Chains A and B, each alone.
Chain A
């Protein structure tokens, strides 16, 4: 399968703990995006990378959130000191620079903060 993959698919954590999610994009895609989706809503943009450079961050990305793409391939999203409001589906997508609006999503990581 050469689609976008995400790991883990589900994560349950206690409030205050740190969590880290991983995303592996489609191999030839140099753009990688993170979105968050809560129940009954569409995905909301968080941040994106072109190769290893983080080019845009939304105001939804609080100081407790940090994303990296150290070698321009996979990316990680870390949430520190999780809060119950962080419970959501975290989606990763990738695209080509030449066609950046056609974004292909992974299956998501469902985070539950108890």
Chain B
């Protein structure tokens, strides 16, 4: 099936630093989503991207839909302690030749902020 590969697997950064992470696929996705999950909670939708090349911001977060449609990037500027968590990319894979509504998720990037 279509898999999403997230990099890096984990990041140790200092408070105030900028963060960059990415998500790649061997096949095309027409929508990219970024979620954040805190321990013991469900994922929270951060940003949705619908067009190749699109750049969308949500506060200190900025995400881009790659031109090839096989990748997406998430940047966090001036990180703060509450940014700690696991960041997942997700998208709707093609199933049975068409689109599908159940999302495929990557394995996540674990962000750890050192005081």
Contact = CB atoms under 8 A, between A and B. Distances in A.
A45 B42 contact: no
B48 A101 contact: yes
A74 interface: no
A102 B102 contact: no
Interface residues of B, number: 25
A31 B101 contact: yes
Which residue, A41, A42, A103, has most C-beta atoms of chain B within 10 A?
A: A42
Contacts of A46: 102
B108 interface: yes
Interface in B67-95: 88, 90-92, 95
Contact of A45 (B35, B48, B104): B104
Interface string A18-57: 0000000000000101010000111111111000000110
A102 B101 contact: no
A110 to B, nearest CB: 7
A42 B41 contact: no
Contacts of B42: 4, 91, 93, 105-108
Nearest to B86: A42
A54 to B, nearest CB: 12
Interface of B: 4, 31, 33, 35, 40-45, 48, 88, 90-92, 95, 100-108
